[in-house]
């Protein structure tokens, strides 16, 4: 709860400072507060909606099935293994689901630490040993224990808000400057020139949103990569370093992740970005193993 309060307070404080600066400087004195509120509602709204309905969205995205009552020995073992681990780290038992996929993968999600979901692929149960599965489950429980889902949502909400607000604010300032240069003062109320100003604003706002959005994405992905290292370390404390390294080694043999884009950042096994590591949600398997062995500082 304190994490939420700090993030939200920081976001509004910085937004208020920018808004006051724009108002006092006279650069954009009108409707600053309205623009701030709109940016916050849009920026945080989508992120919190996704978090609140994350379990419902995730299960339908991967066609997952929650294990209400174990149907076989594998499902019983899976439930009992998670129960033993949650007792060890002191959190409430999450819902457990299985979804059909050839690749080896698993993810955790949920709006609250004590109301979470862990889902594993059928491929994980088929191709991993019990020790390796234990390590993967511990990795996902570490995400839950660390509150990574909430933190990611808050970071995304803050960044979305800044992208919306700053791109619009800068677009207004730049449009005003260009309009004064291109349009004579006496023609400023001409419908044709009003349409021209609107076109300039839309073009600049779109370009700025794209550029700032790319920067925001790099920040989000940087944190996502960090949390994978922390979750690996947390899993190693629960089941041991050797089991966690063995699980990561096994991930190298997996098929390419099949999970949709809105789920893949939650998974233990993410997709590589061939263009740039800055946009990768997960570090490479090699770096994760080196970090566990103390050979890589993250």
Give me the active site residues, please: 140
Residue ranges of alpha helices (H) inside the chain are 2-25, 32-52, 54-62, 73-89, 122-127, 130-146, 148-182, 191-239, 241-251, 261-264, 285-292
In angstroms, the CA 105 to CA 256 distance is: 10
Could you tell me if 148 and 227 are in contact, meaning their C-beta atoms sit under 8 angstroms apart?
Answer: yes
Whether the CB-CB separation of 135 and 107 falls below 8 Å is answered with no
Q: Which residues contact 193 (CB under 8 A, 6 or more apart)?
A: 179, 183, 187
What is the Cα–Cα distance from 186 to 191, expressed in whole angstroms? 12
């Amino acid at each position: 709860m304190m994490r939420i309060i700090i993030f939200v307070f920081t976001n509004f404080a910085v937004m208020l400072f920018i808004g006051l600066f724009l108002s006092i400087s006279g650069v954009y004195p009108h409707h600053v507060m309205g623009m701030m509120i709109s940016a916050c509602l849009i920026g945080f709204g989508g992120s919190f909606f996704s978090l609140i309905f994350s379990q419902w969205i995730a299960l339908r995205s991967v066609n997952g099935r929650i294990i209400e009552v174990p149907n076989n020995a594998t499902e019983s073992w899976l439930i009992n293994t998670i129960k033993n681990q949650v007792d060890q780290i002191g959190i409430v038992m999450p819902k457990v689901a299985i979804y059909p996929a050839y690749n080896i993968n698993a993810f955790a999600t949920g709006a609250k630490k004590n109301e979470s979901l862990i889902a594993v692929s059928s491929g994980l149960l088929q191709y991993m040993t019990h020790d390796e599965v234990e390590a993967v489950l511990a990795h996902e429980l570490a995400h839950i224990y660390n509150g990574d889902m909430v933190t990611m949502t808050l970071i995304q909400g803050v960044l979305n808000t800044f992208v919306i607000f700053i791109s619009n604010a800068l677009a207004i300032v730049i449009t005003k400057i260009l309009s004064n240069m291109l349009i004579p003062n006496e023609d400023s109320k001409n419908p044709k020139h009003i349409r021209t100003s609107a076109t300039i604003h839309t073009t600049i706002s779109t370009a700025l949103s794209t550029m700032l959005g790319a920067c925001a994405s790099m920040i989000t992905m940087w944190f996502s990569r960090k949390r994978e290292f922390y979750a690996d370390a947390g899993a190693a404390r629960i089941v041991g370093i050797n089991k966690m390294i063995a699980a990561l080694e096994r991930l190298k043999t997996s098929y390419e992740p099949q999970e949709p884009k809105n789920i893949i950042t939650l998974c233990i096994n993410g997709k590589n970005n061939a263009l740039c590591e800055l946009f990768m949600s997960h570090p490479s398997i090699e770096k994760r193993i080196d970090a566990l062995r103390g050979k890589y500082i993250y």
